[in-house]
Amino acid sequence: MDCVPIKKAARNYCSVESWKNRFPITKWLPGYSLGYLVSDIVAGLTVGLMVIPQSLAYASVAKLPIQYGLYSSYMGCFVYCILGGAKDVTIGPTAIMSLLVSSYGKQGPDQHTGIHEPSYAILLAFLCGVIQLIMGIFHLGTLTGFISASVVAGFTTASAITIAFGQVKHILGIHFSSGSFAEDVYNTFKHIPDSNPWDVLLGVITIVALVLLTLIQKDTVVWEKKGWKDASMATKVLWKFLWFMGTARNAIVVICGMLVALALESSGHADVITVTGHINSTGLPAFKPPDFHLPNILGVFNIGIALVPIIGYFESIVIGKGFARQSNYKIEPNQELVAIGVCNIAGSFVQAYPVTGSFSRTAVNFQSGVRTPAAGIFTGAVVMLALAFLTPLFRLIPEATLGAVIIVALIKLIQLPIIKRLWTIRKLDLVPYLVTLVASLGLDVAYGTLIGIGVDLVILLFPVARPSIKIDSSSQQINDLELSSASHSQQLQVGAESVAVVTVDSSIRYPSIDYISEQITELSSSVDHPTKLVLDFSRVNMIDYTVVQGMSDLMVDLRRAGVRAAFANVLPSIKEQLNKGDIYQLRMFDSVQDAIWSLAENTGEDLEPDNNGDVKA
C-alpha cells in the first residue's frame, strides 16, 4: 500500500501554518497594539453592558433560573478569543438557543416554579460542544448547505414568534406553566382578565422606551456616517452619548425597572409588580464537570442532540460571514465550528447552557469599532463582575421589563416580507418556508425545521425521483431490420407486432427505480401491448444497489407479463454491476438494433421464472 498521500496529508495537517489556522489568536496577537487595545476595551465593555440584561432575559426563555444566563455569557468569550476567527462575533446565550434549551434541555419543570433543573441544559451544552468539535475536525460544516434560505427564514420567524409571544404573559403579569405555542396562545387569552394593570403599564412603557432608544441608536449611526467630519465637538459628544444610550438600552430599562421595584418595596408595596424574586445562588458558579449520570438522557435531549449543535453553528456562521463581508475578511467555517464547540464544552464546566454567536451583540461589537476577538475578554470580565457583586439585586428585576426586552429584540426577526420576495423570485420556495413556519408553530421549532428540510429535499430531489423517460413503441426499427436481414423475416414479422424502446434520460438512482419500473410495466399492460422491450441505457451513467435489485424484479415482472426484454448501450461499469446482480435472464447488447434483432430471433424458449414461495424482501 502506498503511504505517500497519507504522509503528505499528515505533514500538511501538522504544518505550522495549519496549526496557526487552528489558533487564530496566533495571527493577530503578534501585531496587537495599544490602539487596538483601546478599541477592544470600549467595544468589550459596551457589549458587556448589553449582555447582562439580555442573558438574564434569555435564561427566562430557556426556563432556567435567570443567573444561568450570566453563567453562559463569559466562558465562551474567553475561549473564542483564542480559537475564533471573526473579530466581531460575540459568543453567548441567544434567543434561539434558549428556545431550543427550553424544549430539549429539561426533564419536566418544577411543579411550583415552572423552572427546570439546569443539569440537563448543562450536559446538553457539553454534548453539543463535543458534536460541534467533531464536526469541525472532520470538516462537516458544509452539511449545513442542505438547509435552504427559505427553511432558515421559516425557522427564524417561527422562533421569534414563539419566543416573543411567550413573553406576553410577563407583560400582562399573568401566570401559567408554558407549553407549546398553541397552548401559550390559548392560556394567554384565557388569563387576560387576570392581568395585573401595573405590570402592563410597566411593560408597555418599557417597550415604548426600548423602541425609541433603538431608533435613536440607528439614526446616530447614520448621522455619524454622513456628517462626522463636519460636525462640531459638541455634536459629536451628543451623538456618541445618544448612541451609547441606544446601545445600553436594555441595561437602562432594567436598571429603571429595578429602581421602580426598589421604590415600591421600600414603600411597602412590594406586590404591586411581579419581580423575578429571590435567587438561591449568588456569586460565580463552581468550576465542575457536567453531571453525566442523569437519567433518561436520550429521552430528554431527543432530536435536540442533533439540532442544537447544527442550529447553533448555523446561527454563528451566518452572523460571522455577514460581518466578515462588512469588514472584508474571510472566516473558515470549520474552524468556527471547532471554536464554538470548545466554547460549549468549556462553558459546561461553569454551568453554561448551549451558546453561539449572538446577532445583536455582534452588531454592537462591530459598531463599537472592535479590532480583535480580545474584546471578548472585557465582555467576559464585566459579566463575571456582575455575577460576583450584582446577583443579590437581580431579585428586583421586574418580569415585565425582561419580557419587554425580549419582545423588542425579537420582533425584528419575524421575517414576513420574505413571503413577497419568495413569491417574486421562486414561488415553489414558499412551500418549505410556510411548511417550516406552520410546523414549527404547530409542533415545535426543532420538528418544524426537520419537516421543512425534508420538504425542501423532496422538492430538490423531484427531478432525481422522476427522470424523464422516452418510450418509443413504433415498429419502425423492426421494419428497417427486416430489410437488412431477410433471413430472419419470419421471426421478425412475429416480433414486428410491437417493440418498445425505453430510454431513461439521466442516471438512475434509488428514488426513481419504482417510478421507472411502474412506467415500464404499465406499458406492458397498455392497449398496444408490446411483447418485446429494449431498455436503452446510453444516457445512464450511474446506478446503485437498489436499482440493480429493482431491475432484477422488473425483469421477472416483464417475463410474467409476456414481455421479453433486453438492455442496450450499457456502459462497461454498469454492465459489470448488472452482471453481478444475478438479474433474471439478463441480456445486454451493444446497440438497440442488435437488441431488437436478438429479441425477435429467439422467442418463447425462455424458462419461466421460479414459482416457489421465496421473494426478495
Interaction with a second copy in 326-385: which residues (CB under 8 A)?
A: 326, 328, 330, 359, 363, 366-367
Burial of 74 from C-beta contacts in 10 A (0-12 / 13-18 / 19+)? buried
Minimum CB distance to a second copy, residue 464 (Å) = 7
Instruction: Indicate the SS3 state at residue 592.
Output: helix
CA distances for 511 relative to 431, 464, 466, 467, 536, angstroms: 21, 7, 8, 10, 20
Of 334, 459, 351, residue with least CA distance to 73: 351
Q: Rounded to an integer, what distance in angstroms lies between the CA atom of residue 15 and that of residue 28?
A: 19
CA distances for 134 relative to 340, 344, 512, angstroms: 11, 13, 34
Phi, psi of 87 (to 5 degrees): -60, -30
- Whichever of 456 and 536 has its CB closer to a second copy, that residue is 456
- Whichever of 75 and 300 has its CB closer to a second copy, that residue is 300
Exactly one of 303, 381, 393, 438 binds a second copy (CB under 8 A); that residue is 303
User: Does 146 engage in binding with a second copy (CB under 8 A)?
Assistant: yes
User: Does 11 engage in binding with a second copy (CB under 8 A)?
Assistant: no
Q: At what angle do helices 445-465 and 304-327 cross, to 10 degrees?
A: 80
What one-character DSSP code corresponds to residue 193? G
Q: Which range, of 40-48, 53-61, 90-98, 142-150, touches a second copy by CB under 8 A?
A: 142-150
The owner of cell 496529508 is: 9
Minimum CB distance to a second copy, residue 605 (Å) = 20
User: Does 109 engage in binding with a second copy (CB under 8 A)?
Assistant: no
- Whichever of 278 and 427 has its CB closer to a second copy, that residue is 427
Q: Binding marks (x or -) toward a second copy, 403..442, rule CB under 8 A?
A: ------------------xx-xxx-xx-------------
Q: At what angle do helices 249-266 and 197-227 cross, to 10 degrees?
A: 150
- Whichever of 533 and 592 has its CB closer to a second copy, that residue is 533
Exactly one of 219, 265, 482, 544 binds a second copy (CB under 8 A); that residue is 544
Exactly one of 29, 149, 185, 279 binds a second copy (CB under 8 A); that residue is 149
Minimum CB distance to a second copy, residue 439 (Å) = 12
Positions in 476-515 near a second copy (CB under 8 A): 509-515
Total of chain residues touching a second copy, rule CB under 8 A: 71
In the Cβ-directed half-sphere of 171, how many Cα atoms lie within 13 Å?
A: 20
Exactly one of 521, 538, 593, 598 binds a second copy (CB under 8 A); that residue is 521
User: Does 156 engage in binding with a second copy (CB under 8 A)?
Assistant: yes
Minimum CB distance to a second copy, residue 515 (Å) = 7
What one-character DSSP code corresponds to residue 428? G
Minimum CB distance to a second copy, residue 63 (Å) = 15
Q: Which range, of 3-11, 227-235, 461-469, 585-593, touches a second copy by CB under 8 A?
A: 461-469
Minimum CB distance to a second copy, residue 420 (Å) = 10
The owner of cell 446565550 is: 93
Q: 173: left (phi > 0), else alpha (psi -120 to 50), else beta? A: left
Minimum CB distance to a second copy, residue 242 (Å) = 16
Positions in 557-596 near a second copy (CB under 8 A): 557, 560, 577, 580-581
Task: Give the list of residues 6+ apart from residue 282 with CB closer than 8 angstroms, or none.
Answer: 391, 392
Minimum CB distance to a second copy, residue 513 (Å) = 7
Q: Rounded to an integer, what distance in angstroms lies between the CA atom of residue 442 and that of residue 180?
A: 8
DSSP-derived pairing of the beta strands 499-504 and 532-536: parallel
Of 70, 8, 29, 157, residue with least CA distance to 387: 70
Minimum CB distance to a second copy, residue 222 (Å) = 8
Positions in 439-458 near a second copy (CB under 8 A): 443, 456-458
Q: Which range, of 27-35, 67-75, 297-305, 494-502, touches a second copy by CB under 8 A?
A: 297-305
Q: Which range, of 21-29, 45-53, 110-118, 556-564, touches a second copy by CB under 8 A?
A: 556-564
Q: Cβ–Cβ contacts within 10 Å for residue 553, how many?
A: 17
Instruction: Indicate the SS3 state at residue 176.
Output: coil
Q: Which range, of 263-271, 277-285, 315-323, 343-351, touches a second copy by CB under 8 A?
A: 315-323
- Whichever of 66 and 410 has its CB closer to a second copy, that residue is 410
Which grid cell sits at 582?
A: 444475478
Exactly one of 322, 393, 419, 489 binds a second copy (CB under 8 A); that residue is 322
Q: What is the DSSP string of 98-137?
A: HHHHHHHS-SS--TTT-PPPTHHHHHHHHHHHHHHHHHHH
Q: Rounded to an integer, what distance in angstroms lies between the CA atom of residue 121 and that of residue 353?
A: 5
Positions in 225-284 near a second copy (CB under 8 A): 225
DSSP-derived pairing of the beta strands 588-589 and 564-568: parallel
Positions in 193-232 near a second copy (CB under 8 A): 221-222, 225
Positions in 38-77 near a second copy (CB under 8 A): none
